[in-house]
Every structure is written in structure tokens, then in C-alpha cells.
Amino acid sequence: MENDAHNGARDVRFKRAFGVLLHPTSLPGGFGIGDLGPAAYRYVDWLARAGASWWQVLPLNPPGPGWSPYAATSTFAGNSLLVSPERLLQEGLLQASDLADAPALSPYTVEYETAAPYKTELLRRAWARFGSCPPAAIEHALGCFQSENASWLPDAALFAALARAHGGAPWHTWSEELALREQGALARWRSRHEHDVRFEEFCLFLFARQWHELRGYARERGVRILGDIPICVADNSADVWAHRELFRLDRAGRATAVAGVPPDYFSATGQLWGNPLYDWQTLAASGFAWWIARLRAALALADVVRLDHFRGFAAYWEVPAGAKDAVKGRWVPGPGRALFDAARAALGDLPFVAEDLGVITDDVIALRDGLELPGMAVLQFAFAPSLRSAFLPHRHPRDLVVYTGTHDNNTTVGWYLAEATEAERDFLHRYLGCDGNEIHWDLIRAAFASVADLAVVPHQDIAGLGSDCRMNTPATVEGNWRFRITEWMLGDPLRDRLAGLAWLYGRRAGVEHDAGADGI
């Protein structure tokens, strides 16, 4: 799938290629959490030398409870924890002395509880230095950012400042006049806290600036960004707080029903997400303006966007507010094609991937195929008897993205050792002609050999890591989103082995596949 940022033209077909899944928080570095600094540029170089055409990331928005990027406090804002202190140092917004007191943090896991306040303090120092002597170029760029994002930035920054002032407490717990956005009260609060609101805008600007520069660097090296957008937004978010009319809420702003999924292979009681549901009738009456703005914002960060829980656009699982699990829900029709027809009219071609996992019915398939969107296949599910028809490589269509696993799966080694049944392992051995001693490379090879146009591999699988390195365990809150790669995982041996398989199966960027060439 190609995206020409200069003339707006898009080719919505993937070429045969491969990508790697790794969220920027998982990059190495000395500040407790991966960021958009030197390690991110080195990672792009590593991907390019491996022949990868795609870097898949998770949502780049500010994380919510449990540090989840899928429960963001704003679907339009970027995650300021990803701002690189080293880049700020280069631009004169920080001094070397500002970085001298960096706490000693683990290189193996993101220690949000320490890293987040430390990086916030660095951002405050940068804001203070900018305020005392703003570099002309950065001041101009900040003004442009504020003008270009005026439709969402004031609400997002005000919400972030309010949330910080309330110690992160949900907006429902604020005073009624602030929670329900009484305009006089908001104006008075902002007047008293103008410095804090402007600080939040500054942080969001820094993220956008650094991400734009990194994405441009990746593009120059032939690496495109595959982004991600969850279908729902978090209840405790600027989006719900500022646009209550677009959600099914009572007069106090509480959800009358919430989102989830029914019992499936991830959870016997389903997944109770708790997100408020959209008022699709109100959204439709506006021509889906808010959703189109959301998709446009996502495409400003990525070349292609994965639509998480795509099936919810056909029909979504509605759970009564206050339920303890997602078992007693019901299917309710979603917006269907009307949303995407409106999006196509406003945005042009639809550079999306449909995450069509879970309970997939004929209406979901019809919507996906009618929009000509590629779906997904996960090889860890291929060897379960109930799913063989969908995920076995010999049954893949070309218009597909095949994964060894996703951010919601165990690592392939962890899955094979702890989750796969004896019957699954036996079938896998016979199907792939392997003994499982290098199960991660067995599944990578199977993904690359598939006729699916795009194959994506989590970096944990390239490194052969176990269950302790998985990114997320669905239906849990604690202990997720913390994985980080270390330097040996970016070594030449792994890169060259990946490049060799990519050449062998015609997926290596910039290399013509010739069976007579010395590709490996």
C-alpha cells in the first residue's frame, strides 16, 4: 500500500513485502521508556537493512489506565512520553545538565511509574527555556501546529491540564461545572491556569514535530508506517468530555451501555472494555464529521492504518452499564458502509487494514470485501481445529496481512510452550515439517512463504523471546505495554537471517527476487 504525501495519491494495494511490529515505547534508550530519539532512527536503519517495507506501531496517543495506548486520553493527541530528550538537547530546549539526573531504570521493561514523572519534568524544563528565549523557528512551528489543529487541540490541552490538576481523576469526578463544560467556568479555569494549558499544547507540538521528522527519515529509507486506531475511545478522554452528544450517555455524562466482545479464544467471559458506545444516529446526521476528522488525524501519523475491531462497524457487542463481565451482551448494528462512503468522499482512497479477528459473520465479510480492505490472519490460531479454514497458509488470499502473532498474543515461543495443545503442536509439526526447536523461525518462514501480500512479525518473535516478553494480555489491566528490546535484538545476525528469508520469499524491499541470484 503506497501513500504519496506530496500529491495525496494513494495506491491501496500492498506490494509483496514484510514489516515488523514494535511500539516506540519498546525501543532502547536511557530514559526508562523508548522514544523518538536516536534509537528510533537506528531502528529504522535496522528495518531498512533487513529489507522491511513497514514498521507497524500501536496507537501513538497518550495512554490511559494501565498505560494502555488503546485507552487513550485523546484520540487526536500524541503521546508526549515519546518525546526524545536528546532531540530537545540538539534544538537547545534542554541543556546537558538537565539530563544529568536521569534515574537508573531497567533497560528490559518500561517503568512508567518513574519514567513518566521524570520525562514530564524534562518537558517542563524545556517549556521554561522556550518561554524565556523561544527559538524563532520553533516558535513559528508551534504557531503553525496550533493553527492547523485548532479543531481539537484546545479541548485536548485543556482536558490534559484539568486532569493533571485533579491528580488524574476521571472527569466525572470533577466539579459539575467543569465536568459538564459550563463555558463560564471553563473560561475562568483556563484564565487562571493558562500557563499549564499552554504547556500541554507545547508537549503535543513536540511529539508531532519529532514524529514527523522520524517518519520522514523512515520514508527516505523505504520504510512506511502501519498505524493503528481502536474503534472505541476511552470514557475518561477529551473526546467524550468535549463531545458528549456523540456518545450514548445520560445527563450526568455516564455511559448507559458499554463496549466489549463476547466470550472468545482470549477470554471465557468475554472482554468488558467499558468504553462508551457511539450514538451512530447523531454521527450520521453530521455526515460522520467527527469520525472523518479522527481518520484524517490517524493518516497524518501513518501511511496505512489498521482498524482495530473492524467487526464493530458491522455490528458491535453492547453490554449493560454496570455489568461485571461481557457475557450478557447483545449484537447491535453498526454504521456499516455509510461511514466509509462518507470517509472516501472526504479522504479519497481508504488506506486501511481490517482487523477482522474474533466472531466474524457474513455481514463483516461483506463489509470488508465491499470496501476492498485487506483482512488479517494470525498463524498462532491456524492450528486450532475450529479456525483452520481461515488461517492456514495454503488457504490465504493475496489481499491479506499475515502475522505470526499480534500485540494481544503471547510471543510465538510462549504460545508454543504454554498455550498450544498437544494436538495443535502435532498438527503444526506435520504441516510445517518442523520439530519446533525454532518455532519462532518456523512461523516466520510460514508467514513469509504465504501468498498474502504483507507479512508482519512482532520483534519478540524475531528474537525468539518467551511469555515474559509479550506486550499485552487481553482482559487484564496490570503488567502490560512494558516490553523493551535490548541491543542484542538489533544485532546483525537476526537482521541478516530475517533479510535472507525475505529475499527467499520475495519480500525484501529494493531487491528483485531471482532464483539464480546469491540472495542468501
Using the 8-state DSSP alphabet, how is residue 306 labeled?
E
Helix (H) or strand (E) holding 347: helix 337-347
Catalytic residue among 155, 408, 453, 461: 408
Among 153, 315, 170, smallest CA distance to 231 is for: 315
Q: Which of 228, 239, 308, 424 is catalytic?
A: 308
Among residues 196, 355, 442, 453, which one is catalytic? 355
**DSSP character string of 45-111:** HHHHHHT--EEE----SPP-GGG-GGG-S-SSS--GGG--HHHHHHTTSS-GGGGTT-----SSB--
The dihedrals phi and psi of 384, each to the nearest 5 degrees, come to -80, 130
d(CA 128, CA 93): 9
Q: Are 357 and 380 in contact (CB under 8 A)?
A: no
- Answer for the pair 471, 483: CB distance below 8 angstroms, yes or no: yes
Residue 330: phi, psi to the nearest 5?
Answer: -150, 155
How many CB atoms lie under 10 A from the CB of residue 513? 14
Residue 52 CB contacts under 8 Å (≥ 6 apart), including other chains: 17, 18, 19, 20, 223, 498, 502, 509
User: Residue 264, CB half-sphere, CA atoms under 13 Å: how many?
Assistant: 16
3-state class (DSSP) for residue 276 = strand
Are 201 and 143 contacting, i.e. CB atoms less than 8 angstroms apart?
no
Which H or E run includes 226? strand 224-229
Q: Quote the CA–CA distance of 475 and 273 in Å, as a whole number.
A: 8
Q: Establish whether 308 is a catalytic residue.
A: yes
To the query of whether residue 2 is one of the catalytic residues in this protein, the response is no
Given a contact cutoff of 8 angstroms between Cβ atoms, the answer to whether 349 and 12 are in contact is yes
- 408 flagged as catalytic: yes
- The CB-side HSE value for 516 (13 A sphere, CA atoms) comes to 0
Whole-angstrom CA distances from 60 to 31, 67, 75, 233, 298 are 18, 12, 9, 13, 9
Nearest to 2 by CA among 17, 16, 14: 14
Buried b (16+ CB within 10 A) or exposed e, 374-384: bbbbbbbbbbb
Grid cell for residue 146: 496550533
- Sign of the C-alpha dihedral, residues 265, 269, 271, 277? positive
- Looking at the annotation, which residues are catalytic? 308, 355, 408
